[in-house]
Each structure stands twice: as structure tokens, then as C-alpha cells.
A and B are shown apart, each in its own frame.
Chain A
Amino acid sequence: MKLAYWMYAGPAHIGTLRIASSFKNVHAIMHAPLGDDYFNVMRSMLSRERDFTPVTASIVDRHVLARGSQEKVVDNITRKDKEENPDLIVLTPTCTSSILQEDLENFVERAQLDAQGDVMLADVNHYRVNEIQAADRTLQQIVEFYLKKAAKQGDIATEKTEKPSVNIIGITTLGFHNNHDVTELKRLMADLGIEVNAVIPEGASVHELKHLPRAWFNLIPYREIGSLTAEYLLREFDMPYVDNTPMGIVETARCIRSIQKILNQGGVEVDYEEFIDEQTRFVSQAAWFSRSIDCQNLTGKRCVVFGDNTHAAALTKILSREMGIRVVLAGTYCKYDEAWFRNQVEDHCDEVLISDDNGAIADKIAELEPAAIFGTQMERHVGKRLNIPCGVIAAPIHVQNFPVGYRPFLGYEGANQIVDLIYNSFTLGMEDHLLEIFGGHDTKEAITQTLSADKELNWSPDGLTELKRVPGFVRGKVKRNTEKFAREQGYTEITAEVIYAAKEAVGA
């Protein structure tokens, strides 16, 4: 047992559900007790989905405990198959079904006999993997399932496209700025003269999967999700992949050069150097920014970076290499992939922290007292408490990290966005600091004094207690209304009773 207040990565089934509901017309059925369908709330609220989240539960209740699921799971699968005609139903185990040890594989086989669509069991173990690992695994599992199926039916498409083309792998629902990143990547590919063969899983149909081998190569923008799929496609179809995350000017250039190399090996002579130069100097403002006097002021400032592997590593490199900021601590919560992270950031920071204990990170931040933090929503709150500005760069995230406006983190526009994010965090900190030195510009005290209420009225202790319970932002209004009411009614002392009488009378 572990005493835990907070977690960075969710349970395994969340990862499976993220993959399943990213695809078009794929339905997930969780084998779970009532209340475990919280994923639907997150998807509907955070990413403001207009459609019903294609996830239902086959509810595990007392009867299931006593007698086993029996026909229930199979019935639920075939029912959903009839109601919504999905191409694929993914039966998703949860922590509960992990310990019930029912033969879910058998349910899937039985359901497949009746269902029009395909049915499969997500191969994830709740107690061994987390959300991110499960998502990576499920994506690979679905891709493999459909490529094998196509191979069996003989309609797999393996001949390469005429022009160079790419599969972008790993864009998911509830992924950090994923929807903006994919737009930016498509734009970048168009600029490079590369066709996008497929984007998976977000918005893809499972029927497209058999065309995956047609692409010349795969692009894996995020370290966490897509690597297993890329490895599988390399193994089975000899497809090369690029896994340099194009985040920041230098890394974007590296990613483009990797692509160039693959295309050249494929027999197409391309030279992207001019493009890189043009983009770096004129399209993206990031390179100019790092030369500008604004950025000079940031030189040597200390900051802490924490997040998932992709974002924390990229940000660390941007800060140290492109902006001259000193990263005193770079950390990740992806413990299972520790070696990769260390290797990426070792030369760009003073210290590396691998931990999924938010308390440990908060303590470290308090100890290091950086000028800014780049982390998750949890680090943002730590920053609030310590009065250190924080830019959010990775999940776990809140609804404000699903902006409506265009905010990619990848590519050249992404580099612009990151510059703004970094610079705004630091200037806010600076402003704050100056305000403190000059004693603030808060003149509220002087103004509100003349507005203070008549002193003739006496607040009884229970009246004051009740008043204190009113939320701060309306307390003044409630106080004024109550005093007005008391004066009109001729009360001299304001008790709790008077407050509530006033509330009823005024209707506020």
C-alpha cells in the first residue's frame, strides 16, 4: 500500500479509452463497476466534445461478484454492436476486472460470433502499466489487429505512394495540445512536399489502417505514444521512422534533417537546408527572439522543468540551448522510460529528477527557489503557493489547457508559442518582484475607507460567524444588503437570523 494524494499518469484503462475514442466509429466497453466511466466526463468537459463519448460500461455489481458476468458482457457487446454499428468494439479491463480474473478473452470470442463489427480485448494489465504505456500498447494492438486481418484477406496495401508520404502516429484525444500540433505537422509536411498518408489514431477510421504500409516513413511526434506502433511497422514492413520531436527550433531542424535522410535513402533527392534556414530566420520568431535584448535579460535565470518525457526534455533543451536559461532541475514522471530522459537532458541541466511523487517535486522546487517553473498543473499550484510563476507544458492538465485558439507546441509556429509562454512566465515574475520592492500599487485601502458601512449597527457574534461563511467575493454585498435591511426594519443588532431574513427579503 502506498499513501498517495495525487498522480501524474492515470490508470491503464484511461490510456486504452483515449486510443479507442480517438478513432472514428470505435466503441469501448469497460468491464467496470458503476462510476468508473469518469473518462466520459473528462472527454466531454476538457475537450468540449460535441458527440457522446463512445465508451460504455458493462457494469460489475454484486450479482457479477456472486455469479460471474455470465452473459452480461457478451450481451452488452452485441447490444452496442446493433445500436451504433461500430467498426470495432474494444473490451477494456479495469482494476476491478483484473482481480476478478474472468475469461474476458472468451467473452470477446463469443461476442464476435454475433457482432457485425470487430471485437477485441485490450491487452493491458492494470497493476503493471499506467495510462501512457497502456495507450502506446493499445494503439499498437489495434494497428496489428487490422494489418493482420488485411493480410489474411489479401487486401493489404504495401506498394509505396508515388510521392513521398508519411504516417503521423500518436495524436490522441485528451493529449496535450495534440489537435493543434497535428495541424502544424500537416502544414510542415505540406511545406516539405510530403503527403500525409494517415494520421492515427485521432480522427482515423480503422479501415484506413491497412493503407499504413504505403507511407515512406512514420513520424512519431511524442515519445510516449506511438513508439510501439512504429517499432512494429519497422519490424513487419521495414518502414523507417523519425522520432525526433520537432519542438523548438533546433529539434525541428533535426527532425527535418532526419526526414531528409530517409527520403534520400528512398531515392528522392531533397535538400531542406534552405527551407530550414528560411523558416528559422523569417517564419519563426524564436531564433530572432533569442538574439533580442529581451532574451538577454533572461540569461542565467534559474528554472525547473517537470513533465512527461517529450515535453520536459524538449523544454529543457529549448531553455538551455536556445535561450541561455539555466535549468537547475529537469524531471519526468515517466519512470519506466528513465534512461531515455536522462540521455536527452543530461547535458542541459544541473540535476535530473525521476519521480511520480508530487510531494518530492514540490519540496525540490521550494528548496531550489527557481525564477520560473515549467511543469504540469500540479507544479502550477506549487508555484502559486510559493509565489513562483509557472508555465504549463505537459499533462495532467485542466480545461484551460484545451485552448480554443491555435496553440501548437510543435513546428515553427509551436516555437513561437513556446517563446511567448516562457517569456510571459518570466516577466510576470519580474513585475511581481518590482511591485514588492516598491510596496505594491494597491490603493484599495484608501478608496474603500469612505465606502465603509455605518458603524451604528452592531453585529452579534453569531451574525459575524455567518457573515464570515459567505464567500469573500460577495461578502461586501451581503454585508451592505443586510445592514440596509436591518436599518429599514429597525434592528439594532444583526444576528444570524437577521442575515437570513435579509437574504429572503432582498432575494440576493
Chain B
Amino acid sequence: MTTTANTPSLEFDCDTGNYHTFCPISCVAWLYQKIEDSFFLVIGTKTCGYFLQNAMGVMIFAEPRYAMAELEEGDISAKLNDYEELKRLCLQIKRDRNPSVIVWIGTCTTEIIKTDLEGIAPKLEAEIDIPIVVARANGLDYAFTQGEDTVLAAMAQRCPTEEPATKTIEPEKQERNGIGKLLSLGRKTEAAAPDEAPAADEYYDHPPLILFGSVPNPVVTQLNLELKKQGIKVSGWLPENRYTELPVIKEGYFASGVNPFLSRTASTLMRRKKAKVIGAPFPIGPDGTRAWVEKICSVLGIEPQGLEEREAKIWESVEDYVSLIRGKSVYFMGDNLLEIAMARFLIRCGMTVPEIGIPYMDKRFQGAELQFLERTCEEMGVPKPKITEKPDNYNQIQRILEIEPDLVITGMAHANPLEARGINTKWSVEFTFAQIHGFGNTRDILELVTRPLRR
């Protein structure tokens, strides 16, 4: 490692792509929960179903709003008509669940037999009168979190380009409040909906800003509030809690991604919706959150306030955790594309990173994050990590056994065997499902990272 200490810039490598990760169809598990009026139909085989059922554990028992359209031999050999089959299933879904949108997840099998999902969807949509969004989240092309990217990219195109006439949504809101009033027995203060526009002077006058990336609602609130502190109004999120509430996006709007795996969504927003995507580091860790807010401020021409103190205060409050990992090394095997931002944050915490494995490296979308990583390494005086795209798990394990890092962030397939060889591990998927964004969740990330070192 000493030889790389003076490397002028990051080293990129690409291996065989023989690594363990989740299939991108796993995105339905968190997206169906996020988009409350959706139904996800995965058009694939028993293999896909078996993965979802096992990977999602107990969630499957909560009457999920997702199902498999399981292809049978007759579908493969085209003895059955795709259109008729899908129509039958979608009508059944409409009858049983009545969702506001059905998302079709195309899989490896539909790719290979070339099912024309994009062609069938508009026709069927017109016939059954429910929007059908098609996302090809398959293992031939993508890894794990990239599944969300394909869904959001498809959904971006459904975002309205014009504000709906405000009058039309008013009656429904009124009605809801009406019920609310009844239930709260006339406690008037509650009837003022929380998202009713705050006084206009709380915000600067800036072009509308849309954030994209599916994060739990508490994270949405926290990031909205973070920007509100700078006088920036978040006009909407892709996705919102309901499909029917997708935000307006049109030419001249700004957009910013909150997760590093959203490159297709970003390019769709730029090319198709003519929005300007702000290239910033991602709001993971206090350093990342500050850099993210600063970048948005600078693009919108706003002078950021009090961020330095805020970041310092957070660092102070997590010093007990940071002191546990300072000087230790962490190795990322790579499976969920959060690796660069996580590594950058952990280097800032004082860790060293010999290697960052990552399924796919979009140097453009992650450009700011990569620069930030380099800068962080320089400022912390640690060697720059090697970034291995499409890693080969077998080769990685040989390297891990050789360099014996203090912590390996890896998938569940390798965790127990590595532990049995005396190497501390942390499951990478936990970072996908935990709340890791914003200043307020710093402690939560460190809680996860330090757990194997504390026990």
C-alpha cells in the first residue's frame, strides 16, 4: 500500500464482474412501500420469485403490493399471447387492489424472449385505464440498487410538465380535511395541513428544485428542512409517497440526486425533461451533507449559512464512535453503488480504505463525489484507494486474506465465511435499507459500521 501513498489521482480498475449482489428486481421491496398507491408486477420466472421471497424475509407476509407474473413454458414458446396474459393478470390486480399505477418489472427472461413490454403497456393502459410504467430491472444489465434507477427513470417521464389547475385538486383536499375535522372533533389547528405553504418570505426566490431518489419519509423531511434552513424550497421529490402526486418537472427546473446509483434517472431528467441536474457529492455523512447543501446553494446563488458550525457539532457528537474506527482499515467488496460516498465518509472519520469495489462507476454522475473523495484523502493524508469496477469476488477474497483489513463491508454470502476466518464484516445491504442521509443520521451510519468492532 505504501507505493500508492503518493498516487496523484484515483486508480480505476475493472475486473471480471464475477461478484455477488442482489438482483435489481429487489427494488420493488422498498419502492412498493415508498409509493403507497402502486403495484409492482415482476414478469419473470420462479427464480425471480424465489429470490424476492427469500431476500425480503418477513415483508412478504404483510400482503405486499407486489407479485410475480410467473412465466410458464407456454409463455416462453409463445403458445400463449403476452398481451392477453398480461391483460388477464392486470385486470385481476385492478379488481383486487385497485392501484393508481402498475409498474411492470422486466426481467432477464423477458429480455431474452424479447417480450415487447414497452409496446404492450400503452395499449393495455388505455384498455384497462390504469397507468402502466415499464422498467427493465434485470440481472443482465444491472446490479441491485440500479433497479431503483430504472424505475425512477421510467417514472420521470410520467412527471407532469404543467402545474395541474389548482382548482381540480382542491375538492379532494377539502374532503380529506373534512374527514380530518370530524375525527379531530373540531380541533381547528390540526386542520391546517402541515404542507400548506409556509410564509413566502421563508424562502429565497429561486427556480424550482426537485430532489430524486427513494428515501424513507423521515429522511425526506430532514433533507427538506436542511434546505429550508438555507431558504431553499424543495418543490417535490421523485418519487413522492403517491404516484398521483409525482412532481411537475419542466425545462429550467433544477434537480439533485440523493443517491449515487441514479445515473439513468439523472440523464432522463436532463435529456427528456430538460431539467438541470446539480452535480454534487451525496448527502451521506456530515461532510457529504454539507458539501451537498453548499453545492445546491452555489448553483442557486445563495450564500450558505452556518453549515461549518453544524458539521463541526455533528462530528463532536459522534466522537465516541469515530474514535473507535480512527486509524482502522475498511475494505468494500462492492455491491450497491453506495461505496464511493461511504468510503469518502469513513476516510473523513479517519479510516483507511485499500480498495473500493463497485458494480458500476458512472464517472460523470458521481464526478463531484469522486473529486470529494480525492480531496478527502489528501486532507486526511491517507493513500487513495483503488476503485475496482465489476469486481471478482474470488480475487478480492485472496486480497482480503492477504491484507487483513479491520473491517470488510460485504454481501451476506461472504460475511459468515469471512467471520469464521477472523475478519470483521458488515453486511452492505444494511446501508441500503438504513437511514443514512443528512446530518441527523450520521450516528446511525456509525452505529452500523462500528457494530462488528464493538461486540
Chain A residues proximal to chain B, CB less than 8 Å:
1-7, 10-11, 13-14, 32-38, 40-42, 44-45, 48-53, 56-57, 59-62, 65, 76, 83, 94-96, 99-100, 126-128, 130, 378, 381, 398, 460-462, 465-466, 469-470, 496-497, 500, 503-505, 507-508
Contacts and interface: CB of A to CB of B under 8 A. Distances in A.
B18 A57 contact: yes
Interface stretch (B64-72, B151-159, B373-381): B64-72
26 contacts: A1-B43, A1-B71, A1-B89, A3-B67, A11-B47, A14-B50, A33-B140, A34-B19, A36-B51, A38-B51, A40-B413, A41-B411, A41-B413, A44-B412, A50-B416, A51-B417, A52-B397, A52-B417, A96-B47, A99-B112, A126-B45, A127-B73, A461-B192, A466-B221, A500-B440, A504-B314
Given A38-B54, A59-B17, 15 more contacts: A1-B69, A2-B70, A5-B64, A6-B53, A7-B46, A33-B138, A34-B140, A41-B412, A52-B413, A53-B413, A126-B45, A127-B72, A461-B194, A500-B440, A504-B313
Contacts of B86: 1
B111 interface: yes
Contact of A500 (B43, B55, B68, B225): B225
Interface string B89-124: 100110000000000000011011100000000000
A2 B414 CA distance: 34
Please give me the 9 A-B residue pairs with the lowest Cβ-Cβ distance, nearest first: A35-B23, A33-B139, A462-B194, A50-B420, A40-B413, A35-B139, A95-B45, A11-B46, A1-B85
Contacts of B194: 460-462, 465, 496
A448 B33 CA distance: 32
Contact of B221 (A378, A461, A500, A505): A500
B49 interface: yes
Given A1-B70, A1-B72, A34 B53 contact: no
Contacts of A7: 46, 49-50, 53
Contacts of A60: 108, 140
Given A127-B73, A461-B192, A469-B218, A94 B67 contact: no
Contacts of B49: 4, 6-7
A39 B144 CA distance: 16
Contacts of A37: 20, 413
Interface residues of B, number: 79
Interface string B179-216: 00000000001101111000000000000000000001
B34 to A, nearest CB: 13
A38 B23 contact: yes
Contact of B47 (A13, A57, A59): A13
A35 B60 CA distance: 19
B128 interface: no
The CB with the most chain A CB atoms within 10 A, among B45, B67, B190, is that of B45
B416 A42 contact: no
A1 B141 CA distance: 24
B81 to A, nearest CB: 10
Contact of A99 (B61, B76, B195): B76
Given A38-B54, A48-B416, A61-B140, A504 B108 contact: no
Nearest to A52: B417
A13 B218 CA distance: 41
The CB with the most chain B CB atoms within 10 A, among A2, A35, A465, is that of A35
B238 to A, nearest CB: 20
B440 A504 contact: yes
A414 B208 CA distance: 68
Contacts of A5: 60, 64, 67-68
Nearest to A57: B18
A37 B141 CA distance: 15
Contacts of B51: 35-36, 38
A99 B112 CA distance: 8
A44 B415 contact: yes
Nearest to A33: B139
Nearest to B57: A398
Interface string B131-142: 000000011111
Contacts of B46: 7, 10-11, 95, 126, 130
B366 interface: no
A174 to B, nearest CB: 11
A401 to B, nearest CB: 13
B340 to A, nearest CB: 20
B368 interface: no
A107 B69 CA distance: 32
Contacts of B53: 6-7
B50 A11 contact: yes
A76 B53 CA distance: 29
Given A1-B75, A7-B49, A33-B138, A45 B412 contact: yes
B143 A62 contact: no
B18 A56 contact: yes
A11 B55 CA distance: 15
Contacts of A53: 413, 417
Given A36-B47, A96-B108, A507 B318 contact: yes
Given A1-B89, A45-B416, A126-B45, A34 B23 contact: yes
A80 to B, nearest CB: 9
A11 B139 CA distance: 17
Interface string B410-449: 0111111100100000000000000000011001000000
A366 B51 CA distance: 28
The CB with the most chain B CB atoms within 10 A, among A48, A398, A497, is that of A497
Contacts of A496: 194, 221, 225
A41 B68 contact: no
A5 B49 CA distance: 8
A437 to B, nearest CB: 29
Nearest to A48: B416
B237 to A, nearest CB: 15
The CB with the most chain A CB atoms within 10 A, among B61, B192, B439, is that of B61
A34 B411 CA distance: 14
B256 interface: no
B75 A500 contact: no
Contacts of B70: 1-4
A461 B93 CA distance: 34
Contact of A100 (B20, B64, B112, B412): B112
